[in-house]
A and B are shown apart, each in its own frame.
Chain A
């Protein structure tokens, strides 16, 4: 890390979350990759107490084991890093961390239940129902 990078790190470290969010959004909008990366990592680290606490609380409520909770924490951290890289406005980092951690715990809980699909269905299997019969299905020959 050179002198300039150290100064940027120090300046960013002294910012409040609100100030950092403004810098993050500007960096994302202007395509300043390195600055964006520093902001995103710093915000993610600051959100870890919320992310970890929510994952553990929700994990306990869903009767998840320790390893599954940790997997949820890992996925939530990776997803928070990704979400904070967006150029559009995203919710405040702690709210975002809460939402993502909740979704990751739910994904772990869904994967634990036997017979549950771990991927979303490709397409809903819907048919038009006309006069009580499925349209497009086999028709009886007269």
Chain B
């Protein structure tokens, strides 16, 4: 019996510490009737000793205002990739990371060459601008972004889901075909190079638009 009393008391204290306290009645109901007064007095003593919660400092007030602005912005986001674009841009800007740095990191992870990087750059840009369908982003891409930014990829997955019913994204730009490349030396070289370029572009395209399992 004493064990139950003690367990309920510490649960109440833990909840208070976590800022998740239930109404005190709910804790009192968990102990036998005969112990409720004692528990109420004990909890009252703890609350009295702690005093009222302190008012936020001016610095904290500024933080509250900025946090509320983030919530407001997320609330207004209704693009096809949910709040993911805002999240990526906010992290990048907040940590002072250039977009090119992220693109280079992605290119390195997926071993994308110079030609594929053009497509990668364009699609990443479209992702940050909310022009891609969040549901079509591949799990591999989300995992790579999660690793790069050190965020759980499941959070990125959740952020990429739109709260609106599915609607078509803005049309994506046509993939680059490498028209500015130097003329290949032989027909065989040309064929091999064209195939390599096509494979790279296909890889990048699937990462950004192929769906979760691509």
Please give the residue numbers on chain A whose beta carbons come within 8 Å of chain B beta carbons, in ascending order: 16-18, 28, 33-34, 36-37, 41, 44-45, 48-53, 55-56, 66, 69-79, 81-88, 92-95, 103, 107-108, 111, 118-120, 122-123
Q: Establish whether residues B87 and A85, one from each chain, have CB atoms under 8 Å apart when the complex forms.
A: no
Asked if A88 meets B154 with Cβ closer than 8 Å, knowing A77-B70, A122-B108, the reply is yes
Q: What is the interface of chain B mostly: helix, strand, loop, or mixed?
A: helix
Whether the pair B163, A33 counts as a contact (CB closer than 8 A) is yes
Q: Are A78 and B91 closer than 8 Å at their CB atoms?
A: yes
> 8 Å CB contacts to A: which residues of B71-114?
71, 74-75, 82-84, 86-87, 90-91, 94-97, 101-102, 105, 108-109
CB neighbours of A107 from chain B (8 A): 95, 150
Secondary structure at the A interface, as helix, strand, loop or mixed, is helix
Residue picked from B60, B95, B147, most chain A C-beta under 10 Å: B95
Query: 12 more A-B contacts (CB under 8 A) besides A87-B158, A119-B148?
Result: A56-B57, A56-B60, A69-B63, A75-B94, A78-B83, A79-B151, A82-B83, A85-B83, A103-B150, A120-B149, A122-B108, A122-B109
Please count how many residues in chain B sit with their CB below 8 Å of the partner chain's CB atoms.
51
Which residues of A lie under 8 Å from residue B95 when comparing CB positions? Answer: 71, 75, 107-108, 111, 118
